[in-house]
Structure 1
Amino acid sequence: DKKLKELKNLREQLSHLVTCCKGNERPECPIIDELSAKT
């Protein structure tokens, strides 16, 4: 149950980050920035 909850939380976070992504050639990427901040 704990792992499932963690995976659902990760899915929600990634879904939010995808909406922040412009999908263009800009050098900054909110998805990579967020993931690298967590390590």
Structure 2
Amino acid sequence: MTWGSDAKVLYPEKLVKRMADETEKMFHQYHTPFDQKR
């Protein structure tokens, strides 16, 4: 079974927040211009 991007963390609330923070960090890592990463 594969869920891909449809999978969501619902509980516990602490884990929901942590996953949202990690997702945001990954987004910025791959969407920040190269010259701003230094």
Q: TM-score, normalised by structure 1?
A: 0.50
Q: Which runs of 5+ in 1 are unaligned?
A: 26-39
The alignment yields a C-alpha RMSD, in angstroms, of 1.4
Q: Which residue of 1 aligns with 2:29?
A: 18
Q: Does residue 1:2 correspond to 2:4, yes or no?
A: no
5+ unaligned residues in a row in structure 2: which ranges? 1-11
Question: Sequence identity, in percent?
Answer: 8
| Bigger radius of gyration among the two | 2
Runs of 4+ aligned structure 1 residues displaced above 4 Å come to none
How far off is 1:14 after superposition?
Answer: 0.5
TM-score when normalising by structure 2: 0.52
Asked which structure has the greater RCO (Cα within 8 Å, sep 6+), the reply is: 1
